[in-house]
Structure 1
């Protein structure tokens, strides 16, 4: 790798010092003991991953992350690399990718590797890099204009999950806030939960988006016990805007949520920050230092 792909000692120390200072803030005082495998959803670093995936992943590993969740798989490639190449890169850096994000393909029919286009190949490639979970990451606005759309997706998820199951992979769905907005007196999230086979389709709960939609993650765990093996961990600013924030600097009580991990059935969690006001590498360093202290 060239020098541009490396995180300098000065930069790493600066990130560590910044994260340590934030960890001292009162809002982070609930944290106290280290989890074993902290993960990162790579969408947080999407610009850097597009320019230099090798160097960016090296910096992620140097911060301390042990797991990553890829996105953007297309036509047999992960960030432009074959499964064999991507797997080798992860292994070289001491990283694992237990989960990955995919799209339905309804709005991008030419994209190969979605739920509706070349899904079997996507599953095969996910297995090749040792993924244990495949997640439908998002439903575009034009895909979800009425309740019947969600009923259709429940059927598609069951079908897609059958293919995953044959490869020893668990299918999941990742939420935002719109699933908790009523349509004709019903919550779309309930349609997806009730319309899918609980043994085939599970969920990746985005703790920020659920909270943003005024849902209590712990109550969701109780309502659907064991169906949340994956979490996205991101914080919410203590402002009227309720913008994204590094973990431990906002308003979400993560300790309370992690205390309910058995009810949820959680096996992996990934730091994510859709939009960062600080440079993304600084944001994920702060999140790492704070989530590292959670009682897990």
Structure 2
């Protein structure tokens, strides 16, 4: 069964709300396109109660939040805010400098695992979002950094960014097949897979085989397809609309239109 479609709001950070000042307007725009969920990347000064109210009125589910990696000092603030938003999935990650050695990778995984354990009493889960650098291998290692992170952090889920996975020269279908029990969220983006070019295209107009990728996920584990375009050579809002239409019209996702 096709999964519900959401948008990572970072995608529209410039085109729809310059400066991030009008999040309610963004939610309305997203809902009008047909998206039934959003993933936040900060509330930009808005009260979480206000955002929760607007989302509920629009029929939008807040299905995840990128907030960094919670620790003992930040977890209560993060969990309290997410509880108001009705969200139970907290997501973070690290940069390439945090994965330069095996010890560094294990240290990052330990922080991920700690975040998951700290969030459990709040009824929340923690997952990490990848870029391409998690699909590099250390010298002498036959595992991707991504594999090591999942092995070392057993209570952490993966929000697999399928484009960055492919850009890192890994096969998203193979990764999904191997770790399907750990991947409830997919970041869906597309592009031309040109080395050094980090721009994206509307989903369905790039090089990725989306039906094969989405079909490789464990459909009993997968919960949301989340469109995210970091940068786009064309109008971003138009790309967001085209991405929605492609995924819904192909029967790969469900929306409201």
TM-score range, shorter chain: 0.7 to 0.9
Q: Report if the CA contact (8 A) 1:226-1:263 is conserved.
A: no
How far has the Cα of 1:188 moved from its partner?
A: 1.6
SS of 2:126's equivalent? strand
Partner residue, 1:283: 239
User: What is aligned with 1:234?
Assistant: 189
1:38-117 maps to which residues of 2 (within 5 A)?
38-47=5-14, 48-49=16-17, 50-72=20-42, 78-104=43-69, 114-115=70-71, 117=73
Q: In 1, distance between residues paired with 2:102 and 2:194? A: 33
Distance 2:165 2:129 in 1: 11
**1:195 partnered with 2:162:** no
State the shift of 1:142 in Å: 4.0
Tell me, yes or no, if structure 1 residue 146 matches structure 2 residue 113.
no
Residue 35 of structure 1 contacts residue 293 of structure 1 at CA under 8 Å; is this kept in 2?
Answer: no
Query: Residues 120-160 of structure 1, C-alpha deviation per residue, up to 9 Å, x if partnerless?
Result: 22012212211121111x31344333322211111111111
Aligned 8 A contact 1:234 1:245 in 2: yes
Q: How many residues align?
A: 246
Q: TM-score, normalised by structure 1?
A: 0.77
Q: Secondary structure at the match of 2:249?
A: coil
Task: Give 3-state SS (helix, strand or coil) of 2:62's partner.
Answer: coil
Q: Structure 2 vs 1, CA of residues 36 and 181 (structure 1 numbering), >3 Å: closer, same or farther? A: closer
Dislocated runs of 4+, deviation >6 Å: none
* Inter-partner Cα distance in structure 1 for 2:145 and 2:119: 24
Matching residue of 1:19: none
Q: Matches of residues 243-282 of structure 1 in structure 2 within 5 Å?
A: 243-262=199-218, 265-282=221-238
Q: Deviations over 1:89-123 (max 9, x none)?
A: 1112221101111223xxxxxxxxx4464122201
Tell which deviates more after alignment, 185-194 or 200-209.
185-194
Q: Is the 8 A contact 1:221 1:263 kept in 2?
A: no
Structure 2, unaligned runs of 5 or more: 253-257
1:166 is displaced (CA, Å) by: 1.6
Q: Could you say what secondary structure the match of 2:61 adopts?
A: coil
Q: 1:243 to 1:82 in 2, by over 3 A?
A: closer
Contact 2:98–2:108, Cα closer than 8 Å, also in 1: no
Instruction: Map Cα deviations across residues 45-100 of structure 1 (whole Å, 9 max, x no partner).
Output: 1123403212122111111111000013xxxxx22122211111111222110111
